[in-house]
Amino acid sequence: MSHIPAFGLGTFRLQGQVVIDSVRNGLELGYRTIDTAQIYGNEAEVGEAIAASGVARDELFLTTKIWVDNYSRNKLVASLKESLTKLRTDRVDLTLIHWPAPDNGVPLEEFMSALADAKTQGLTRQIGVSNFNIELTKQAIAVVGKDNIATNQIELSPYLQNRKLVEFLGEQGIHVTSYMTLAYGKVLKDPVIGAIAKRHDATPAQVALAWALQLGYSVIPSSTKRENLASNLLAQQLPLTADDMAQIAALERNGREVSPGGLAPVWD
């Protein structure tokens, strides 16, 4: 059974000193899960911040993602070793295929088996996928087995609840990691979420994160502000009522924020 921590720190779009500060603040506040990716261009800075923090490697859960340029069998493992060098560690805890990229010329079977090889070599403790639809997840399962897919990290927010895919992943025992849980901040202005936040003396961000956590998903919100990093963590102690959850469920509107051409699958 895979183990993916419920709460982590995302680093998408954060670079240079900004990401160093965010990771440093996060670690000081008690975050122990850090999510990065080769394409973010910040693995070295994340590694620098971790090294400076003095937090023991064994206390941390590090995730990175293989970029599409590195999917071929002769590149994937080498690219992950490069990521490890940047992160200043001998292994990550989770490595994901970042996007299915159906048209990039590397068959799914090739990159999934190369990813499994990385695990066999001890470069990563667990492997998984990101942005895979049901059909592609089935294909990945056929290559490595469902027990070897620790998570599917997908865009998932109150506005994009992805119920068909989530149901399928649940049937397969594949954990859901939600990214963009706040829909680029759009849900923070939502009147329904605002009213729930008011009732609980919480922030809208805490409500949206608590909603995802209560559904059993992992979340990886990012922030450049220390007070928001601290505030987000408190979502873990925010119990929402059945009525709150039902009101948020009703916000579904297929509000997808991210779907890059050539990389994204046909969504369910």
Identify the residue whose tokens are 């990159």: 111
Return the structure tokens found at 15: 């670079």
Type of residue at 231:
S
Kindly report the number of other CB atoms within 10 A of residue 139's CB atom: 16
Please state at what angle helix 16-29 crosses helix 43-53, rounded to 10 degrees: 40
Q: Is 98 annotated as a binding residue?
A: yes
Interacting residues of 193 by C-beta distance below 8 A, sequence separation 6+ = 158, 187, 204, 207, 208, 248, 251
Q: Which of 31, 40, 159, 179 is catalytic?
A: 40
40 catalytic? Reply is yes
Q: Which residues pair with 15 in a beta bridge?
A: none
For the annotated catalytic residues, the residue numbers are 40
- Where is the binding site for substrate, in residues? 98
